[in-house]
Amino acid sequence: MRWDAQRADRGQLALPGLVRTVRTPEFADITFHEVHAKSVLNRVPASSSMPFQWTINPYRGCSHACTYCLAGDTEILMRDGTTRPLADVNVGDEIYGTGRLGNHRYRVPTRVLAHWSTVKPAFRVTLEDGTTLVASREHRLLTEQGWQQVAEGITGQPFLVNGIRLVTDVDGVVEPRLTVVNIEPLDESVVMYDVTTGTGDFIANQVVSHNCFARNTHTYLEFDAGRDFDTQIVVKVNAPEVVAKQVRSPKWQREHVAMGTNTDPYQRAEGRYKLMPRIIEALADSGTPFSILTKGTVMVRDIPLLVEASKQVSVGIGVSLALVDRELQQRLEPGTPSPQARLDMIKRVTDAGLPCGVMVAPVIPRMTDSREQLEAALSQIAEAGATGASMIPLHLRPGTREWFAEWLARERPDLLDDYRDIYARGSYANRAYRDWLGARVKPLVRKYGLEGRSFPSGSMPQAAPKSPPVAAEQLELMLQQNVDSFNSEL
């Protein structure tokens, strides 16, 4: 409890409009920070390609970020010239990172913005002068050829090999200097640490080391980029009243509002705070059309209200359902409602006369993409009455891919070569796999009558300046949350 209390207390200092901080036995290990928000109706930047212009997110948190980690005894160069073990570095400490001037790097003072720990499989990197670093597979060090991770992963990122020279800082001179002579996996997982700095790097055992960029919505509030994403939840307790005021403004043009594009409005906390009913009422009463994307079955509570709202405005519902295999779901998504619970919710939504598109996402290559698995999913989705379905293969964006790579190496090492091929170019499955999956899915979608738009024509507003969103587009925005959610449990 002391760990949570320290971070909660620090975060409270930076939370604007903080009302109170709440811990409750029904949400073990979670701290709620209740705030009064000044604005809840958020405009999407004009440069965005999203097919909607407005969003509402009553909660902040509930997602998980990745980390690039080093052992706690790694010596970090402080601004005063001393060194300190990474485990003992604190938020706010002044240390050294690096900057660039032309083709040269130089030492730059910077500040620690976030600090956290995790447990990961470890590798020992030994340099020619005897210096060693214990780091995770995906931790990145600066070499004469640019940033490279410690050991080979599944995504084709450059990795260290014997003989390559690392960029080091010795007496303020930053240049390629020490040669890697050995890289070996350790037999056990190790408690490791990481920081976020203003320069994006820091100097560890004299080596220039990359750091993980924490998600801004939490680090701006002085929460860290690790466990805080899961356990420190900001709740805009006055969201319904603020929305009601904003949509009553003469300036409001009743444009479509998409909910669930950043954080799930029906995450478990909604069962406690009950913010969505009044938000729905405010939107409907003002004549504002809206759509909701969720994987949380708390929405069942509000189906009667959504039906009433649909008599006043266009309402679209989207449900994310990655897995229908219960055993696999418990391994990959242990913190989410069961597949059957979400299928029951889809049926209740469509039985009530509301459109409900389903995104089967992510499809996990070689694990959930067999014809039998895909057909099992689509047949059950069709039986539940869904008005459309789409499928998207697993995305492995930076951060997520490191977490998934560790899980895969541990649970399904037989698939590592396949994943190196499929994700050789980065975050997205290659064209060959996407084409293969599309060819397999298309006849099944047609067979079960799910080939139309996930939101049927007419269920979205016709007067919105941008094209009305369909479930496939909005659901894809939530895909990364689904992936992060189960990766955080791996």
Write down the pLDDT at residue 463.
27
CATH number at residue 273: 3.20.20
Residues spanned by the domain of 441: 238-394+429-487
Clarify whether residues 381 and 455 are in a common domain.
yes
For residue 323, is it within any domain? Answer: yes
Q: What is the mean pLDDT of residues 313-325?
A: 83
Does 78 share its domain with 192? yes
> Where do we find the tokens 């956290």?
116
Check whether residue 209 and residue 249 sit in a common domain.
no
Say whether both 202 and 120 belong to one domain: yes
Q: Which of 178, 213, 248 is the last residue of a domain?
A: 213
Q: Is residue 116 part of a domain?
A: yes
Output the six-digit token pair for 42: 């958020």
Please indicate, yes or no, whether residues 209 and 259 belong to a single structural domain of this protein.
no
Question: By mean pLDDT, which of 12-26, 73-87, 179-193, 298-312 is the weakest?
Answer: 12-26
Is it the case that residue 104 has pLDDT exceeding 80?
A: yes
Q: What is the mean pLDDT of residues 336-354?
A: 87
Same domain, 331 and 455: yes
Question: What mean pLDDT, rounded, does the chain reach?
Answer: 79
Each residue's pLDDT tens digit, 137-160: 878 899 999 889 899 865 456 899
Residue 61 lies in a domain: no
pLDDT at 260: 84
How do residues 347-395 score in pLDDT, each as one tens digit? Answer: 999 999 999 999 887 788 998 899 999 999 999 999 999 999 888 888 8
CA distance 48 to 335: 31
Q: What is the CATH number of the domain that holds 122?
A: 2.170.16.10
Report how many domains make up the chain.
2
Domain-terminating residue out of 213, 247, 270 = 213
Give me the pLDDT at residue 22, please: 84
| 339-351 vs 371-383: helix crossing angle, rounded to 10 | 40
What is the average per-residue pLDDT within 96-118? 84
